[in-house]
Structure 1
Amino acid sequence: MATFIPPGSSNDGADIDLLGKELGLSSGQLREQLNALYARLRLLLTTDELGAWRNESLALFRFSASSSAKATEEYFRVAPRVLDILPPHLFLKWVKRGKALCHDSPGIAAAYFRASPQALATLPERQFNVWLAMGPGLYKRNSESMELAAHFLDAAPALLQVLNLAQLERLLLFLNRLTETDCSLAIRCLDSAYRVFHALEDDERSLFLSIALALVRLKPMASVTFFKQGIDSLAGVTSTQRLRFLTLLAKIAAYNSRHALSFLTDCSHALSGMDRNLHPRLINQCETVLAISAIAGIEFLNNSPAVLASIGPAGLERWYREGLRILRKDEKDGLAYFRLEFPEDGTLERLLVRVELDHVRGVLLMYGEALGGSEIEIRSSDSLADWSLGTIDPGTPATDGTTIFLPSSIDRFDSAEENFTWYKVAVTHQSGHIEFGTFNFCFESKAALFSDSRQLLSADGHGLSDMDRFLGLFDDRRLAADIFSLVEDVRIDYLVQHRYAGIRSGYRFIVQESVWKRPSPVYLPLREAFLEIVIRFSLNGELPFVPEALRGPTDTALRLLQQLRSPEARVEDSAEVAIRLYDLASIIPNTRLPQRDWNAGGSEQARSNRVDTSYRTSDGGDVTIEPGAEVPYQAPTDVDFRGNSNPDMLNIQPTPKDGSDRGTLSPLSSDIGEVQLNSMMQGENLQSGQYTADL
């Protein structure tokens, strides 16, 4: 049985001096390092292990002394730090591996020792053996491969900060395959590796390596181009879509390197020049086209900016659908179509389906006045600045109670008829605010369906408008205004569809399109996600996925909105519901919930898990929202056809800058009958002929 040599025995100094002479150490610093290391090892190793260490150290020195003492210097410099990380038996294994490397190449051994403290501190002990094998596999017994292997070992500690060990092994495999062509190519890629992987997310890194490995099998130079330029090209793709873009690139790279590089460079460049909100849709469409033809998919994305600039978003959508139809029928013709190689001129222009407000203002005006029973004006939203209504997106509808503001043109759908339907639905909703009393809000008036909370909360509102007095009840006026707008829009949507059956079909169509364009609650902070879930339900009666933490307040909010959907509901009922929703929303922290906590329950599951507002799970357990930094609250994205219904507009009595009189409001129900109104709702204009003539 091995025995320990007690520390501090009389022959310690002689042992150290003898070992120093055997190692040929002349440097005072090296002798000091040896003394410190030897003293520690005598406390940890048995006599046999200490002897083994002595022999390995002597062998290491002999191998390195023949060319350079650098490996020995690095060994003694880092050995105490490695001993702090590894248990004695693994430390001896580490020394033995260094000796073997020194036999093959002292330069590689020096890099191995130099990199060890940082690398081993990063890796769990179970991965120690993997680390021992890394790097030396790149050595092909020539000077270039020796440089590459040493360079890899030197780079490994930094790379382990951005790659896990499995990813680092795949990088090693990629470099190894490049050495079969030229070691200098591998060195160039290794020089770029940290910058590349530091700029990627973890799941993107694995996919990036898969693409590099696929390309190196097909064409090594293509893989080098991808490795060095890929991250710069990806900058053109919105961050939320990079993984999907790389997934498509991986599919192409599996069989064609030229097409893969074209997709990377040309398509990312095309995307970089387009609105990033369009990227998810475009990549979805590209994926569909790629499933039929890789070249056609590339041409689709490559030419999308030109098509968008020529005929707008709706024209782009129609171009895609028509091209997909042709491609499915004949791949050659479909490819020519996406290359914009049309058999005759004017194809893109024929896709133009934009409807101009100036062309349809007359019929919309009659329609709006028939709905509201009052004289109104219809103006372009571009003129909002002239009415001093503040900053409102000119692309959304709005009303101040006497004028309806609409975008100057609409081209978001595949046909002029659908774009005109959008105008009709927008006018219907804004007219509903006028007809059903949004602008008649009175703080003192009782609600029809809900008990009065306003009087209980009210402070002295002398001198304030009714809406200012109402919003003054809340600590967060902005949040309260957003919630009131949401609730009042729900009331108006219900009432116009209840009263005017002819608009329901068009309303449903526009609502579905609006839902599709809305942001996903998954990517919003909790309070904003709660409001987004409520908005989505208010549009089509369907729930997106609801996390456990929001099910209680969501359930309560939906019950309130359902109760509000009544022919008897007044604007004061909207105010009462807004108070109750504010109480729910204001206590929800605006922190981000981990994505894993967004369950996949769907609408039916969410409806079946009836929970109250005390944040309890369906099985009775308390739900704890993980603490995190509050994110500044952002108002929900406008529902495009509802537009801007900020309650602050209820306080404004706009006067044209030219001082002209707007005229007296008067009911027009006797001038336009029920049959004519229904005809206009169905898309017919019985008097002016403007719609059919202009469209």
Structure 2
Amino acid sequence: MTDKLKVLENLLPELEKFPAPVKDNFNKAIVEMPDALSDEQASDWLKRGIGIAGQTVRSWEAAAHFFQVSPNVISSMPYSYFVRWMECGATLCEESPTLAAAYFEASPATMSKLRSRHIESWAGLGDGLYKGTWKSSTLACRFFAESSTLLESLSFQQLENFANFLDALSHRSYDLSSECLTLGEQIFPLVGDDKDAFLSLATTLVDTGWREVKSFFEAGAKALPKIHPEERMRFLKLAESLVNNGGTNIPGTMLDISQSLSLLEEDHHYIVLGFAETLLDEEPLAMPEFIKSAPIVLEKLTILQLGRWYQEG
């Protein structure tokens, strides 16, 4: 028996009250916990794990995950933040042992990409998606599971915005929200520096045409690569203006506009989108038709002549 186990000897019988994975995972974890862990800290860690295991009939599963990942998690943060991590897990377990298990299981991969000061906020995002139903539980657990992948493309603030978007969409359809969570993993790496504009437009669509949101994600993945990288933000803002002005089938319009822009020289995207922005003030719903006509017009006119043609139109 290690020195640490001797210190914890009086607490070990408590582990016998729970299914074997709890004690088994503790035994594996204790030998991997850092040597710098004081006796008091080791005792506190074990007590917290026992406390989680004893919350409800099924919370032992969360405790088993808690012990399993603890050595990995504590290696990535100061002990004071490790305490916060444990506290967040215990609080989540009070809400749902399944949610807490997902939080613990996702922690090693996520903590490698998350600043320690964001632990509580990250836990709160998953908790915010949970509404006490099995569909909300599935969404919240998947959010925890996919967080590490999402953080490869998103800042933490963007992850917060995405979680808020998923929450708003879940009030319309949990299935659609779950699909967009999956699509987000695929799309955000393609969006580049325009993720904020993309998320803003997606959130707007929840209020104005939530059934189009999935198509918007799919269209975004196809449309944005066709736009000059420096003009993608303007492209998304134009699409958002269409939504706000009562436009319909925004995903289809995005695909049509991007296809037309792809037929132009990339250096001309700036000019054509500039005219399109001006047109929004005059006749917003005519803007897509202007962009779609640009490749045909520029077969006969120079880019400078396009400006005069636009003024006449």
TM-score under structure 2 length normalisation: 0.87
How far 1:163 sits from its partner (Å)? 0.7
Structure with the largest fraction of helix: 2
> Of residues 34, 38, 45 in structure 2, which corresponds to 1:44?
38
Map of 1:52-451 to 2, 5 A cutoff? 52-63=44-55, 66-67=57-58, 70-202=61-193, 204-258=194-248, 260-261=250-251, 263-309=253-299, 311-313=300-302, 316-323=306-313
May I ask how many residue pairs the two structures share in their alignment? 311
Quick one: which amino acid aligns to residue 14 of structure 1? E
Q: Alignment partner of 1:123: what SS?
A: coil
CA distance in 2, matches of 1:45, 1:156: 33
- Say whether the 8 Å CA contact 1:75–1:110 is kept in structure 2: yes
Distance in 1 of aligned mates of 2:164 and 2:142: 15
What is the DSSP-based 3-state SS (H/G/I as helix, E as strand, rest coil) of the residue aligned with 2:20?
A: coil
Alignment of 1:436-515 (within 5 A): none
Check conservation: 1:179, 1:185, Cα contact below 8 A. yes
Structure 2 unaligned blocks of 5 or more = none
Q: Contact 2:257–2:292 at 8 Å: present in 1 too?
A: yes
Write out per-residue CA displacement over residues 293-352 of structure 1, whole angstroms, 9 at most, x where no aligned residue: 11121111122233334x3436644432210xxxxxxxxxxxxxxxxxxxxxxxxxxxxx
- SS, match of residue 181 in structure 1: coil
Check whether the contact 2:26–2:68 (CA below 8 A) recurs between aligned residues: no
Aligned AA (1:229): A
Q: Deviations over 1:600-622 (max 9, x none)?
A: xxxxxxxxxxxxxxxxxxxxxxx
| Alignment CA distance shift 1:249-1:278 (3 Å) | same
CA 1:32/1:201 → structure 2, altered by over 3 Å: closer, same or farther? same
Q: Deviations over 1:440-485 (max 9, x none)?
A: xxxxxxxxxxxxxxxxxxxxxxxxxxxxxxxxxxxxxxxxxxxxxx
1:125 to partner: Cα distance: 2.9
1:19 deviation in Å? 4.1
Alignment partner of 1:43: what SS? coil
CA drift of 1:111 comes to 1.6
Q: CA-atom RMSD, angstroms?
A: 2.8
2:227–2:269 CA contact under 8 A, matched in 1: yes
The answer to whether the 8 A contact 1:259-1:295 is kept is no
CA distance in 2, matches of 1:229, 1:110: 35
Alpha-carbon distance, 1:21 to partner:
1.9
CA distance in 1, matches of 2:159, 2:232: 21
State the alpha-carbon separation in 2 of the partners of residues 228 and 154 from structure 1: 22
Cα distance change, pair 135–257 in 1 and its aligned pair in 2 (3 A): farther
DSSP 3-state at the match of 1:258: coil
Q: 1:94 to 1:24 in 2, by over 3 A?
A: same
Q: Distance in 1 between matches of 2:223 and 2:179?
A: 18
Match of 2:25 in 1: 30
> What is the CA distance between 1:166 and its match in structure 2?
0.6
Contact 1:207/1:247 (8 A) holds in 2: yes
Secondary structure at 2:282's aligned position in 1?
A: coil
* CA–CA separation in structure 1 for the residues paired with 2:308 and 2:21: 81
Q: Which stretches in structure 1 are left out of the alignment for 5+ residues? A: 1-6, 324-695
- In structure 2, the partner of 1:480 is none
CA drift of 1:223 comes to: 2.6
Q: Secondary structure at the match of 1:161?
A: coil
CA distance in 2: counterparts of 1:212 and 1:320, whole angstroms: 30
Q: Specify whether residues 28 and 53 from structure 1 end up closer, same or farther in structure 2 by C-alpha distance, changes over 3 A only.
A: closer
Are the counterparts in 2 of residues 248 and 287 from structure 1 also a CA contact under 8 Å?
yes
* Aligned partner of residue 297 in structure 2, secondary structure: helix
- Structure 1 stretch displaced more, 70-79 or 181-190: 70-79
Change in 2 beyond 3 A, CA 1:45/1:282: farther
Identity %: 27
TM-score by length of 1: 0.41
